[in-house]
Amino acid sequence: MSTPEDQDFDFSIPSPALTPITPGSPAPKEKKKGGQPKSLVWGTHVIQGRKVSEDHYEATCSYCSYFWKKGSSQDLEGHFANVCPKVPDIQTKISEFNESTKLSEDRVHEIDRTCVKAFVVCGIPWNVIENLFFIELLKTLRPGYTPPSKDVLSGKLLSQETAVINQRVIKELKNAENLTMSCDGWTNSANESIWNFLIHTSDHEEYLWCLKDLSSESHTGEFLAKTIEEIIEKIGPEKFSALITDSGANI
């Protein structure tokens, strides 16, 4: 068995670049460099030159030989996306694209509903659904999806989604108390008399119960009172605490 006297120790002062290792001690671990990983564009599409500054290098495009004195990842990516005339088409693989191009009926219905809500909420004209560029967009996102026609989208599908929302509102109001109804009327650019009827909850939620075109009706106090009464009866008179109207003489 060896003794401490038999072992060789180096007691010299180590250089700054070295770490002394004593018997039985583990080798020093290499420190990991921080920062974000470099964009993949550097290794595949660019000939990288010397480092100019942090995250900036001299670089040459592998396709058109364009040279950057101080190129960044953003510069290179913009070049390949918008400028380089020789960059090959790069097909991005997305797992969803591996799905069958034939969509189930439920999936088609789900996408149809999403289209209806997007068109209504964003105020998109119905005829956009038949625009060739919009169809191309939808086909790119989901190759197996065939969008409905303008008439189907604004007719059958809109009616179905309206019915779903109406049932949801009725369900919410069924369990609500201390409701307030507000109504107001105006004349639009087509000279039509439009009235809206809103239901407000104690939780500060607001629901548009209905819009009515009353152009063909005489706006007497009796007629408007009957219209309001019909709505209140449908929801439940015991649920209402207040009624708010405009300042018209007929109200």
- Beta bridge partners of residue 61, listed in sequence order: 46
pLDDT at 141: 87
Pairing status of strand 240-244 against strand 193-200? unpaired
Q: In what order do the strands lie in the sheet with 240-244?
A: 206-213, 193-200, 179-187, 240-244
Average pLDDT on 13-27 reads: 46
With bands split at pLDDT 50, 70 and 90, how would you rate the model's confidence at 117? Answer: very high
Within 10 angstroms of residue 182's Cβ, the number of other Cβ atoms is 16
* Percent over 70 (pLDDT), the chain: 77
Q: How confident is the model at residue 23 (pLDDT cuts 50, 70, 90)?
A: very low
Could you tell me the pTM of the whole model?
0.51
d(CA 195, CA 133): 38
Most confident of 23-37, 61-75, 119-133, 234-248: 119-133
CA dihedral 13, 17, 22, 24 (to 10 degrees): 180
Give yes or no for a contact between 213 and 192, defined as CB atoms under 8 angstroms apart. Answer: yes
Q: What is the pLDDT of residue 111?
A: 94
Query: Of 34 and 49, which is predicted with more confidence?
Result: 49
Mean pLDDT of 140-163: 92
The pLDDT of residue 135 is above 70: yes
Q: What is the pLDDT of residue 199?
A: 93
More confident residue, 55 or 149: 149
Arithmetic mean of pLDDT over the chain: 80
**pLDDT of 38:** 62
The pLDDT score that the predictor gives to residue 11 is 41
Asked whether the predicted pLDDT for residue 6 surpasses 80, the reply is: no
- Residue 177, pLDDT > 50, answer yes
Residue 94 has pLDDT above 50, yes or no: no
Pairing of strands 179-187, 240-244: parallel
